[in-house]
Structures are given as C-alpha cells and as structure tokens.
Chains A and B, each alone.
Chain A
Amino acid sequence: MSAGAALTDAPAPETAAAERHGGTAPRVTGPRGPGPARRLLGLVGGLVGGLVGGVLRRTAAVLALLALWEAAPRLGFVDRIFLPPFSEVAVAWWELLADGQLLDDARASLVRSATGFGLAVLVAVPLGLLIGWYRPVAELLGPLLEVFRNTAALALLPVFVLLLGIGETSKVSIVLYACTWPVLLNTISAVRTVDPTLLKLARSVNLPPWRLFQRVILPASVPAVFTGIRLAGAVAILVLVAAEMVGAKAGLGFLINNSQFNFAIPQMYAGILTVSLIGVAFNQLLVALERRFTSWRTSG
C-alpha cells in the first residue's frame, strides 16, 4: 500500500514493534519488488504503515485539536493570556508533575471519587437487584427514584455542605449520592428486563427462587449493570471536580480553581487536562472490566 511503501525505511525499533504487533495490524500486502529481500522490506514497511495508519486514524481528531490549540493563540486568533498555546500548558503540566503538586492533588481527588464511587456500587447494585426482583417495590419506588435521578446532584451540594461541613465527608458523600442513581436505576431495569423466555425456562425446570436469581437473573443483568457503573464512573469525576471548587485545600478541582484565581492560566489548563486524562483512563478501565465479565457477548 502507498503508506507502507513510503515508510519502507522506518527506524528499527518501530519495525520491531510492527513485527510484534503483526498479528493485530490489518493485513497489508507490500508492493511487488523485484527481489525477495525487497519484497520482505516492502511487507515489513506495509505492516508498519498499517499500524501507523491505524494509530493515526484513531488519534487524528485529538492531534488536530492540539494543533489548533497550539496555532490559534500563536496566530492571534485568541488572546494568548486566556488560552496559552498547548506547548506552554504542557510545560506547566510537567513542572506541576515534577514538584509533586499535581500528584498530591490527583491523589486527593482520586481517593475521594474512588471512595464515593466504590461505596455507591457496593450499595446500589445489591439494592437495585432487590428492588428489581420485587416488582411491587419497584413500582412503589420508581417515581421517587426518577425524582432523585433527575435532580442535579450539584444542586444539592449546598445542602451537603450545610449538613456535613466542607470536609472530606461532604465531598465523598456527594460523589456517592451522584453515582448511586445511574447504578441503581440501571440495575433495577436490568433485573426487570431479563428475557422472559429464560424465566419461563427456569420455571419449567422447577428452579428454586434463589437458584433462579443466582443462575439466571444475576448473569443476565451483568451487561446493563455495567452500563450503569460506567455512567457512574463519569459522574464521579464530574461531580467531584465541581465539589472541590467549593472549599477544598487539595484536589484537581481546587488546583484548577486556585490557578484561575492566581492567574496561573497554563497551570489551570494543566489541571483541566489532567481531569480529562483521568476520566478517559477510568472509563477505559471500566470498559476493559466490562469486556472481561461479558466476554460471552462477543466472539473471542
């Protein structure tokens, strides 16, 4: 392929990487050269090209955004004071990382959101299974749960601060609160939408209720429960950063807000970047976990 031919003399490490990943790279046939050596070279080049092409396709939009970010302030399209070029933000990020401040803030944020998120999953999954299982309970609580879910968690932040102070408790609590609803509601609907023919099957073989729950309801609910958990993962970080902007002495939300107050604009953007990196990484982790638990859905 053309991309492959252009990259025939790629540096050695990349070639090795391509060979290692040869199995996953799209199959590419090299251009027909006159000798076997050239053909091999062409093939390797093709593989590298395929791999680079794949990576390029997946990162092109992100790279374009960064390029725009870099160029716009330099070309004077936006005020460089309010939007410094990406390279300056990257330098600021590196400095924050080097002096340990970024790690401290990230750790503070991660501990809070992980605690709130973890507690929410631990509470909401069993509760959701229970509520979904007992139809009358689900019908009774349904409207109430809808009200809670549709009340923006952040609107309740002042209430949390009022009741629990501005310390860790209120921050973990609001994350816990916000994460509970997507997990709970998805779990309830997962239990209630289990394929009725499977329930009929279970009845026809006289499966006792506990076994029915363990062997049919629970595994059938896993995919939808995980959807809820992934939604909660995004919510955990979203809510926490907002909570940290109100009365906190550490955390990424504090870093962002505090940098803005002190007019340390590159540092502010560095904080924002860190938040989105953590968000993406967390989501990827949950996706990987979901794949592991629902491998029966896809081949392989």
Chain B
Amino acid sequence: MTTKPIPKIRFERVGMTFPVRAPRGARARISSGARDPARSPAGAGFTALEDIELDIADGEFTVLVGPSGCGKSTLLDLLGGLALPTSGRVLLDGEPVTGPGRDRGTVFQQYALLPWRTARGNVEFGLEAAGVPRRERAERAGEFLSLVGLDGFGDRHPHELSGGMRQRVAIARSLAYDPDVLLMDEPFGALDAQTRESLQDELLRVWQRTRKTVVFITHSIDEAVLLGQRVAVLTSRPGRVKEVVPIALGDGRADIRAGGGRADNDLAGGGRSGDVPSGDDRTGGGRGGVEDPRSTPEFARHRHRIWELLHDEVSRAQELEREAVAL
C-alpha cells in the first residue's frame, strides 16, 4: 500500500494563535512569559493549538478528548470554517477549508435551536439555507425527525421538549441537509447520565445508517471509548495531538453498533420499545442477552489507557490555571 487515498479530513501542522487582550497579556508577560510555552516569546498572542497533525478517513468516527482549555473547540471551529488557522492547513477532501459550508454540519452543546420555531421548523432551517424547495423541506424534516426517534413531536416548540429531545432535533437538523462530516462539540455534555447513554446509543445507530464522518468532542473518557473508532488525546495548552488511540471493543461494541440499543429511553411518551428485542435476536440486535459494552474488560482497558494519557495533561492544565488565577 504505497498510494494512500486522500483522507477525508487532514490537519496539516495546524496552529492557532489568538491576539491577547492588552491588560491580561501584559500581566502574563511580566510574571510568567518565559516559563509558559503557551505564550509566544513576544507575548503577542495566546497559542491555542500548535502543530496539529491528524488524518481522518471517510466514514470514520473520531473522538477528541483533552483537558479543558486545550483548544478542542477551536479545532472544531477550524474544521467548520468559522475560523482560519494562523499556520498550517485544514484539508477537507484534499482542499483547504476557507469558510463555513453545508458539507459540514455542526451540533452544539447548547442545542442552538431557534426557540420560535417548532422541531420541524428547526430541522427545516438548514434546508432553507441550502435552498431546498418548501415541499421537499417538510418531507425531509419529517424523515429526519423520525430517524432520531422524534415521530409525532414535529409541532412542539423547543421549550416543550426535554434536553435529550432538543439535542435530537439539533442532530436531525445537522443531518437533514446531508453534510459529509458531522462536527459535534460536546453535544451530550448538558444532559443527565441516562439521557446521555441513550443518545450515545442512538448516535451510533444513526452513524451506522448514514455513514457520516463524525468528529466528536467530549470531556468524558467513557463517552470517548464507547463512541470512537479512534480517540485523539490532546495535550494541555497549547493543544497538540498527544496520541491517537484506536479502539477495539470486541463483541460488546459490535452489538451496540449493530444497533439494537435502547433507542428512545428518554422520550416520555415514547413507550419502552427499547426493552423489546427488535427482530433478529440471534445476531445480538436486541438487548436480550447482550452485555453492557461499558462493563467489558476491553472497555476498561481502553478507558484506563486514555485516562493515563490524560492524567498528566489535566494536572498540567490545572497548574496553568492556578498560575493564571494567582497572577
């Protein structure tokens, strides 16, 4: 294999430096300029990302984890075209990203639903931007609401939906205009544990069906191991890729990825369909005798590996934070 195919996404020595607001920058320079590698020698900026090298294949589910403030969200903004890197290049299908585009769909942690629109109206929002005709919009919106398990909730306004359902609407909205890449910025961070689990399963099911390339940011190691085919661990400020851990969960994950799953657990009126083995039980599609993938030894092994990688970075990040506060 000498001729490798062009990766779907490639980060090529990507760096990102923000100009620092004068007073903070000045203070930082005086007290810790030389010791802190996050600040360039001139004290001119704040380096969020440095020399990011990462290839992501088409259809791959990649998770980014890292200590808070390591530039994970910045990385996603670069990929989304909401910001441009100060050095290096972000390539999508071999072409540099120059701005936002509907070939990438973003799911935000705070849902970002338009509160004056119904669930259906929110899903149609992206389609309107894409110039899809009205009738087709309604059809597609219905289809994608159904894909995320929100049949019958199309006419509800966001304030009438639970947090989990809101995030489902947001996911449906991002999928509806059919982007190649789904960018997810801690999408389940604001949800309670149970809702989060059911949405994780659901996301894997949707990913399986749509075969999108997913770039997913999280704080949770468990979530990273469960969802990712590969987990990229970032260092604390400035963010670099410390290591990319391939995840192989064995049968446990195969089952959950085969997608029996506990589909609609958090839908209040959705019945308990998740408890009913769905059709072909033999292949482990249902939940009947399937082990929780989160409790397998493979899961624990991967979890520990990533924990180790993160541990030093988190304590370093905390140290940096303490320093910043003490200034």
A202 to chain B, nearest CB (A): 8
Contact with B along A208-231 (1 / 0, CB 8 A): 000100011001101000000000
* Interface contact B112-A200, CB-CB below 8 Å: yes
**A-B residue pair count with CB separations less than 8 angstroms:** 59
Contact with A along B160-182 (1 / 0, CB 8 A): 10000000000000000100000
Number of interface residues of B (CB under 8 A): 26
Per DSSP, chain A at the interface is helix
* Interface contact B102-A205, CB-CB below 8 Å: yes
* Interface contact B82-A200, CB-CB below 8 Å: yes
CA separation between A295 and B160, bound complex, in Å? 12
CA separation between A297 and B177, bound complex, in Å? 27
Per DSSP, chain B at the interface is loop
CA separation between A201 and B82, bound complex, in Å? 10
A166 to chain B, nearest CB (A): 46
A200 to chain B, nearest CB (A): 7
B17 interfacial contact with A, CB 8 Å:
no
* Interface contact B128-A296, CB-CB below 8 Å: no
CA separation between A204 and B179, bound complex, in Å? 11
B246 interfacial contact with A, CB 8 Å:
no
Contact among A201, A211, A299 for B108, CB-based, below 8 A: A201
A2 interfacial contact with B, CB 8 Å:
no
Return the chain B residue nearest A298 by Cβ.
B159
13 more contacts with CB within 8 A, not counting A195-B112, A201-B106, A220-B116, are A197-B110, A197-B111, A201-B125, A204-B104, A204-B106, A205-B102, A206-B100, A211-B129, A219-B116, A294-B116, A296-B157, A297-B115, A297-B159
* B→A interface (CB under 8 Å): 80, 82, 99-102, 104-106, 108, 110-112, 114-117, 125-126, 128-130, 157, 159-160, 177
14 contacts between A and B (CB under 8 A): A195-B112, A197-B110, A198-B112, A200-B82, A200-B106, A201-B106, A204-B82, A205-B130, A205-B177, A207-B129, A219-B116, A294-B116, A296-B117, A299-B159
Q: Which 8 pairs across A and B sit closest by C-beta, in order of nearness?
A: A197-B112, A205-B129, A201-B112, A296-B116, A204-B106, A219-B116, A207-B129, A205-B126
